Amino acid sequence: MCGIFAQVTQTDDFSHRHPEELSQRLREANATRGPDARKSCCISLSRVFLELFSSELRLRGNSPVIQPHQNDSGAILSWNGEVRADENDGIKLFQQLQSLETGEQVRDLFASIEGPYAFVFYNATAQKLFFSRDPLGRRSLLIHKPSVKNPYFLLASVTAGSDPGYDFEELKTGHIHCLDIASLNKSNDIVSAFNGSLSLFARSDPTLLGSPNFVYAEPAKINSTLPPDDLPVQLPAHNLDVIPAWLEEPVERLISQLDHSVMLQVRDIPQDLSLKGQSRVAVLFSGGIDSTVLTLLADRHLVPRDEPIDLLNVAFENPRKIKLQKEGNINPNKKKSKHKTFESRNGSNDVDSDTSILSDYMVPDRVTGLQEVEELRRLCPERVWNFVEINVPYHESLIARSRVEGLMNPVRTVMDLSLALALYFASRGVGQVRSNPTDEPVPYTSPARVLINGLGSDELLGGYGRHRSAYKTGGWAAVIEELQLEIDRIPVRNLGRDDRVISSHGKETRHPFLSLDAVSFLADLPVQHKMDPRLPLGVGDKMLLRLAARKLGLVEASGRKKRAMQFGSHSARMEGDERGDKLLEG
């Protein structure tokens, strides 16, 4: 994981047109993403000044590498990525990029490699600046285009918060972008010359798709074949105990695909000798089916087997929830159900966002997390499982709010804030652990720099309520359309924001469900192999994953119902019932 900041500005009257103080704040904001090293490389032409800045979090290779990478000819690469390479992936990629001068060549190179990435590459010979994110947008990269008010070009992994000095937006993932620096250098006005100097090279060039050398040009499209009209209900007994014969192969393939994806993401993580024997991997852990399946698979591949895995479980002190517990539910349209509190503690999976919890931090995700860590301990007794209780007092969430809003920027909705707060505190990893459930807690801060995230399973396997609603209104065709929309919008809806928030702690999040190989496998499956909205919740949604979890021995996890992170952790609606799509003030 790295932080990237790049700027292109005209040298005329530079001090007035682009304050150095703003550049320094952007460098510092991006430096928190890579605490191991930082460096800037600068190029001055007759009328244009170019800077590429990178910070480094070393999680690959056998020795520290300080970037940006630079060679004698003046080529520069700022790289924030994780592609398949036995050595430092940035070095290997830089060697390949140095001979490329056209957008088509750069596009073709990236169409052949898989992994989350964002990069900025300057070819000094051609005087061209190439930049992009991976096709799913698993790494953040923001763009500010020159304007009359702010006449300079900026790229950054994260902003320094809201500021009148820039107008950042998420960089779209469908193209390799190329800025002709030579053309800008001939112009007296960067604002008027910018659009004519920027070229876009579409990843989805029809001449490339289908070729074995370009399998990673873009995410796979959802299989649009409709199920037969007389399709029987997939699980006639409405339970997960027996896998129907026609689903046995898809279940085995899903387990194999996820197992391979997790293996690639947890193996060969460098061990800090000063932290030998401590956790290198942590899981954003709610006790739900997604995080639990990935945790079980991580246990297979992380050696030695007695090295701890940290399970990061976050809970918020929510004054609105506490008030409801004391005064009762004043909204007559919602059912108050204190009895569910006791059901959840006795193993029930039916815990919703309005459950009344006696303890401020015994939120739904804490209840299911505690249940699931016991299931993991039964299945994997050799592993040390650190269940990290991350309790966030209300006043602490208020203090962090401005910081988190700055990291989220440019997204600014109530729902984004609820999710970002949960991710911010969970990934920070500051909490407490207990050797046994009845022991007193001991303060603990997770040293793990790699965080496993279950994002993507709901989008790919039909886990959201909107997929069930789509079936009710438009049948299987509407479900297929909604699943395609999930893939199309995930770069903007989730991944950039999550990357900016989590990486602020010098941590790297990895998404086994969102490797392009896993996406391709799941997209290609007929829709009825993945889900069946005719079945009850906890069975038909993400049906294929539930069957896989049961086959792996995760009996309790396999039947858990979907619960959004912000409701499971109580990070949502701390003061009132604001709509999630409402824009934040300020």
Residues with catalytic roles: 2
| 250, 258, 361, 429 from 432: Cα distances, Å | 40, 30, 13, 9
Continuous H helices in 119-244: 181-185, 190-197
| 330, 343, 355 from 334: Cα distances, Å | 8, 19, 11
Angle at 164 between CA 161 and CA 167, to 5 degrees: 75
Contact 447, 278 (CB under 8 A): yes
Tokens 């040009």 correspond to what residue? 217
Tokens 């010098």 correspond to what residue? 506
Instruction: Please state, as a whole number, how many other Cβ atoms lie within 10 Å of the Cβ of residue 236.
Output: 10
Exposed/middle/buried for residue 172 (C-beta within 10 Å: 0-12, 13-18, 19+): middle
Structure tokens at 299: 């246990």
* SS3 per residue for 531-581: CCCCCCCCCCCCHHHHHHHHHCCCHHHHCCCCCCHHHHCCCCCCCCCCCCC
Question: Distance between CA 218 and CA 207 in Å, rounded?
Answer: 13
Question: Distance between CA 201 and CA 488 in Å, rounded?
Answer: 18
Structure tokens at 297: 């698979």
DSSP state of 585: P
Question: Distance between CA 277 and CA 122 in Å, rounded?
Answer: 41
Contact 506, 449 (CB under 8 A): yes
* Residue (of 297, 210, 584) closest to 417 by Cα position: 584
Contact 10, 64 (CB under 8 A): no
DSSP string covering 407-447, please? Answer: HHTT--BHHHHHHHHHHHHHHHTEEEE-SSTTSPPEEEE--
Which residues, 6 or more positions from 232, have their beta carbon under 8 angstroms from its beta carbon?
none
Question: Distance between CA 459 and CA 470 in Å, rounded?
Answer: 14
Exposed/middle/buried for residue 148 (C-beta within 10 Å: 0-12, 13-18, 19+): exposed
